[in-house]
Chain A
Amino acid sequence: MSNTQEILEVNNVFKVFGDAPDQAMDMLRNGATKEQVLSETGQNVGVFDASFTVKRGEIFVIMGLSGSGKSTLVRLLNRLIEPSSGSIKLKGQNITNLKDKDLLNVRRQDMSMVFQSFALMPHMSVIENAAFGLEISGIDKKTRHQRALTALEQVGLGSYAHSRPDQLSGGMQQRVGLARALANDPTILLMDEAFSALDPLIRYEMQGELIRLQKEQERTIVFISHDLDEAIRIGDRIAIMEGGRIVQIGTPQEIMNNPADDYVASFFKGVDATKTIKVKDIAQKDALTVSSTSSADVALTEASGQFAYLLDDGGRFVGVSPITQGKSSTVASLMSERLSAQYSLNASTSLKESISIVSESPYPVPVLDDKGVYQGTLSKDHILATLANN
């Protein structure tokens, strides 16, 4: 069952702050707005009817300005704040009605959190901090320090294991915070404005670090941010929140092309379109691909373009050969004529980052996923056409 795509399902979740949430919930069920509830009952609606799903292995960014309820929403997921109503399903299991003990297990095994303020324990060394979650789960000291050290090495802090947190810079402290969450090997990583307290350069570096880690480990991450550039850079999908309500969910490009309302549109007004478009979304599949292991002759008559892309059995890209229209050729000869210049693009590269590579390449650049599997090609002409459309 754990192979289902949707790992987290949030349905119609409300959170009402105040001393009489039931009354407010009744009003909300009868269609009252947040403002009506506030003026009539004095109860503040923090999250209003939030529904979304998070897929395995994606970075789901919840974005909004301060006061939009995004930090409340992420705390509802691990019930640091109790939802007033609605259901939250983790791997198909509803966690909103879990007993205390089961809830603790969810927090210990399935959800780890990274905080804006780092929230490291000053009385513990870096490695003890990284091992904190494991210590709470009752894992013996040797094992937990081993796993904590592995996590610290993943974030590049292996040599600081015995330092104190206050001896580290902000960026390094947040790496420890990230290592503490990774050491638990959680199903879902909750990151609450994890990079917002860092200065811009370090923040950019940490985003790159997260993208790199994500490529290696394929974690499922719910990332809270108020920074649109950050959301676009790391997010596979973005949920935009305003006033406790999720106004739109989609890939950066989808939201940009079809903003749900003026609020979202104004948000995206200043954004550089080439940053939101990923090359996998615009890669063309019409180029000729040839299996490098087949022995048959390849007829090049129907081929479009001047290049053949050679793939192995797993569909992984091996090389590219020039072809002549109307001639046929053997795979062996194609293999031997492979071009020495090797250009390729990762599928999650943004259009902006791809331009320089495509402009240098003598042939349309193959787009590959993280495992090197061929996804399509990207040519100079196609980039220009895409830019013209946006």
Chain B
Amino acid sequence: MIDVSFLDPFQNLTIPVGEWVESVLNYLVHNFRDFFRAARWPIDQILDLVESILSFIPPLIGILLSALFGWQVAGPRMGVFCAITLTMLGLIGVWEQSMVTLSLVITSLFFCVVIGVPLGILSARYDRVEKTIRPILDAMQTLPAFVYLVPVVMLFGIGNVPGVLVTIIFALPPLVRLTNLGIRQIPEDKIEAARAFGCTKQQMLVKVQLPLATPTIMAGVNQTLMLSLSMVVIASMISVEGLGQMVLRGIGRLDMGLATVGGLGLVLLAIFLDRLTQAMGEQSNSSGAVRWYQVGPIGLVLSWFDSSAKQNVATPQTKATQE
């Protein structure tokens, strides 16, 4: 007996992590429930706003707007592509659910950007911050979602808002990492030149670091969007609505049709968002001589206004010469 316990000390020697977590959680739930309820508020506001806008727009107008947006950021082909994917979403009958999912994804993206970009900037500036948050980011990405799904429900309840919260936890890391990377990989000579011309830290960030890191940050935004979409299905377990719930319900009832339609909707949405953000990233990569307002539908409208204004100026002159 003694030999066995000597060679295998873990029979008696254990750290009761599980018990600790449970007691901490119980303590939090009993004493700070109101605090966590209050923490829902900002997410609730943004989510409500986005959802009401998206559900208010009729499908045809929505398709048209997205096509125009796609055209603006990446040319007419992207516009057509956007129109096709969104039309497909409507045709397979998941428009409403798609809009709910889209508003969840946009809301979580909003909070990921608000939290992630500053965190990325900080960790690019201070090595200690990077060292500290790196293991936390690792945990956020690798910890199975089911593990924190339960505590989130206990603290925040169920529904769309806690759903956004778990999505943020899962989708935040790549944006922080890529913002950090984007700023750190800026060539040293550009930084040195900016310093030599008397940049303050603030000016360095706004005028040099962020613009030069934009393509990488946009890649982070793209990754965050993709991860948010994949999280939506898991989040549907805590009663998050939208496409994820279709999939979950389909699996639960062994209704493969329903599940496939929901899955297809997610894929279409993913392709739509992926292409759009990638195009935006490339756009920021090659900014320069041509301004954004000189191309696409806005450029078209502006140039039309421009030429009509010139004509208006020109007409009285010709009249004058005729007289």
Chain A residues with a Cβ under 8 A of chain B: 78, 80, 104-108, 111-113, 115, 117, 119-125, 132-133, 135-137, 162-164, 167, 180, 184, 190
6 smallest CB-CB distances across A and B, nearest first, come from A107-B198, A119-B193, A108-B198, A164-B288, A113-B196, A119-B189
- Chain B at the A interface: SS class: helix
| B192 & A115 in contact (Cβ 8 Å cutoff) | yes
- Residues of A near B211 (CB, < 8 A) are 121, 123
Chain B residues with a Cβ under 8 A of chain A: 187, 189-190, 192-200, 203, 207-208, 211-212, 214, 287-289
| A136 & B199 in contact (Cβ 8 Å cutoff) | yes
Known contacts A122-B212, A162-B289, A164-B289; A115/B198 CB under 8 A: no
| A135 & B207 in contact (Cβ 8 Å cutoff) | yes
A190 to B195, CA, bound (A): 14
| B196 & A80 in contact (Cβ 8 Å cutoff) | yes
Among B190, B207, B211, B288, which residue has the most Cβ atoms of chain A within 10 A? B288
| A136 & B288 in contact (Cβ 8 Å cutoff) | no
Output the least CB separation between B223 and chain A (Å): 22
Output the least CB separation between A229 and chain B (Å): 25
Among A80, A119, A132, A184, which residue has the most Cβ atoms of chain B within 10 A? A119
| A136 & B197 in contact (Cβ 8 Å cutoff) | yes
- Residues of B near A137 (CB, < 8 A) are 198
| B198 & A105 in contact (Cβ 8 Å cutoff) | yes
A167 to B289, CA, bound (A): 10
Please name the residue on chain A nearest to B204 by beta carbon. Answer: A136
| B289 & A133 in contact (Cβ 8 Å cutoff) | no
- Residues of B near A107 (CB, < 8 A) are 195-198
A107 to B196, CA, bound (A): 6
Please name the residue on chain B nearest to A106 by beta carbon. Answer: B198
Known contacts A117-B189, A135-B207; A125/B288 CB under 8 A: yes
- Residues of A near B214 (CB, < 8 A) are 123
Known contacts A115-B189, A117-B189, A119-B190; A125/B196 CB under 8 A: no
A294 to B212, CA, bound (A): 67
Please name the residue on chain B nearest to A165 by beta carbon. Answer: B288
Please name the residue on chain B nearest to A166 by beta carbon. Answer: B288
Output the least CB separation between B106 and chain A (Å): 27
A115 to B188, CA, bound (A): 12
User: Could you list 22 examples of A-B contacts with CB < 8 Å?
Assistant: A78-B196, A106-B198, A107-B197, A108-B197, A108-B198, A112-B197, A113-B197, A115-B192, A117-B189, A119-B189, A121-B190, A121-B193, A123-B214, A123-B287, A125-B288, A125-B289, A136-B197, A136-B207, A137-B198, A164-B289, A180-B197, A184-B197
